[in-house]
A = this chain, B = another copy of it.
């Protein structure tokens, strides 16, 4: 570890919060789990050029690297507690580090979580994060609890991040105001932690939309051993997305696009009346986009009543994403 890399660590002196007995500085951090709670753990690696472009704003990279992990905790109804950050960097670029640390710290503090460990190494830019949260014993939201007849619900808007990515890649052209509205949805997704917490004891299954609505719904349905009927007309599309669709854009592209980090969950039909209360607790609008069916597969009905069969995506065998 060079002196240069010792200096990097100065950017990550964050305050320590809940459950931290001893922060970074010894061989290990010491953490105190709360009796009656289980821990939820998730781990993601983001590589420059794969998960974010070289020109990405460093604060947005810091935010998103943490957000995608907190989104996994949210999808299980867990409250973020402790995070580790493994950073490989080609050089100690002070402006990049200050921006990255700022984006990371701001989201971490807003969620009341602590950075309890990490490592900084010279190498091609990559960010490895492990996040731990807590959930009361037996109350974790799993992918496997959906039952035929349940409502399929989604938070926020779908396709915003996908359309922003297409614009960034030059594949579509957007009015400047619409780009301004959509870009933060791609670069600074908001993990739905409060919603995940509110869904404990109510939702029968939950997953976050990282790979795309249809792919992630496929994961949930396969884990639950059920299928789904979806209504395209019920999809919550934002005004910029609605304008793009009105100009001839294909909605199926957006249902296949990832990075929205909204929560996709199932509710017993009898709980429909609780949706406004859940939306208020989660601080995000909720929409019912279909129902769980006993027969496997996803059947999508267009606004014109046309049925489109959609293959569920493959089951993820290793990752905790």
Which chain A residues have a beta carbon within 8 Å of chain B's beta carbons?
A: 1, 6, 8-10, 12-13, 21-22, 24-33, 35, 38-47, 49-51, 72-73, 75-76, 78, 82, 84-88, 116-124, 126, 128, 130, 133, 135, 137, 140, 142-144, 206-208, 211, 223, 314-321
Distance (Å) between the CB of A90 and the closest chain B CB? 10
**With A21-B38, A50-B122 already in contact, 15 other A-B pairs whose C-beta atoms are closer than 8 Å:** A1-B211, A24-B317, A27-B73, A28-B41, A28-B75, A29-B42, A30-B76, A31-B40, A33-B39, A41-B84, A43-B85, A45-B86, A47-B122, A116-B320, A123-B126
Q: A26 and B119: CB pair below 8 A?
A: no
Contact (A223, B26) CB under 8 Å given A126-B88, A321-B119: yes
Contact (A75, B13) CB under 8 Å given A33-B33, A41-B84, A121-B45: no
Q: A24 and B126: CB pair below 8 A?
A: no
Which residues of B have CB within 8 Å of A78? 28
Q: How far is the CA of A137 from the CA of B30 in the complex (A)?
A: 10
Q: B82 and A41: CB pair below 8 A?
A: yes
Interface residue from B38, B44, B118, B208 paired with A319 (Cβ < 8 Å): B118
Distance (Å) between the CB of A18 and the closest chain B CB? 13
Most chain B CB within a 10 A radius of its CB, from A24, A51, A78, A124: A24
Interface residue from B31, B122, B140, B223 paired with A30 (Cβ < 8 Å): B140
Contact (A321, B126) CB under 8 Å given A39-B33, A121-B45: no
Q: How far is the CA of A26 from the CA of B128 in the complex (A)?
A: 19
Interface residue from B8, B9, B31, B47 paired with A38 (Cβ < 8 Å): B31
Q: A24 and B319: CB pair below 8 A?
A: yes
Q: B317 and A10: CB pair below 8 A?
A: yes
Q: Which 10 A-B pairs have the closest CB atoms?
A: A9-B318, A128-B128, A28-B40, A33-B33, A47-B123, A86-B128, A117-B320, A43-B84, A130-B130, A27-B75
Distance (Å) between the CB of A133 and the closest chain B CB? 7
Distance (Å) between the CB of A172 and the closest chain B CB? 24
Interface residue from B13, B22, B143 paired with A317 (Cβ < 8 Å): B13
Which residues of B have CB within 8 Å of A223? 25-26
Which residues of B have CB within 8 Å of A86? 43-45, 86, 128, 130
Interface residue from B13, B123, B140 paired with A124 (Cβ < 8 Å): B123
Which residues of B have CB within 8 Å of A51? 121
Most chain B CB within a 10 A radius of its CB, from A135, A142, A320: A320
Which residues of B have CB within 8 Å of A33? 33, 38-39
Contact (A72, B27) CB under 8 Å given A84-B41, A122-B50, A128-B128: yes
Closest partner residue, chain B, to A196 (CB atom): B27
Q: B320 and A9: CB pair below 8 A?
A: no
